Amino acid sequence: MKEKRRKKREIGEGIEELLTRLRKEKGWTYSDILMRLPDKTLTEKDIKKWEIGLKYPDLNMIYELSALYQVSAADFIQAKNNSFEKGLASVNMTIAKWICYFLNISIYAAIVLTVIFYVFMFAFSLWFFVTMLSTVDKSRI
């Protein structure tokens, strides 16, 4: 388990982290990025989803982002691969990312909420089955 965590730390920056860091270094908002990108079909929600990791930019967009931020496309592609290696595309992380997106909270807070939700659902399931067992007609068994 410790080796797995250590390996995740060694992997490097994911594309979510890279995009967020570059935007903040420039002091740009989502609107600023939209104005600078040639693709006018994008919305602020698209950029936010990239930074959370709900959606990933395609190869053409990676080249546009590369030119915008003056970072090599290879760095963007490596960061995208790093995200997959870290397991950021897993089902549990996707649930946490959607919570993050809708509640506008950090990914760590969303992970905590996801765990709390799982614990609550387990407790509810346990209560439900115990209740059902106590209502079963024992004379039939």
| 25-74 tens-digit pLDDT | 999 999 999 999 988 889 999 999 898 888 889 999 999 999 999 999 99
Given this model, what pLDDT does residue 9 score? Answer: 54
pLDDT(20) > 80: yes
- Homologous superfamily in CATH for domain 2-89: lambda repressor-like DNA-binding domains (1.10.260.40)
Q: What is the average per-residue pLDDT within 63-88?
A: 88
Q: Where are the alpha helices (DSSP H) in the chain?
A: 2-11, 15-26, 30-36, 44-52, 59-69, 73-85, 91-103, 107-135
Residue 109 scores a pLDDT above 60: yes
Distance CA 95, CA 43 (A): 22
This prediction has a pTM of 0.65
Q: What is the predicted pLDDT for the residue at 110?
A: 85
Report whether pLDDT(138) > 70: no
Under the banding of pLDDT at 50, 70 and 90, the label for residue 86 is confident
Question: Of 82, 48, 43, 42, which Cα lies nearest the Cα of 60?
Answer: 42
Nearby residues of 134 by Cβ (< 8 Å), 6 or more positions away: none
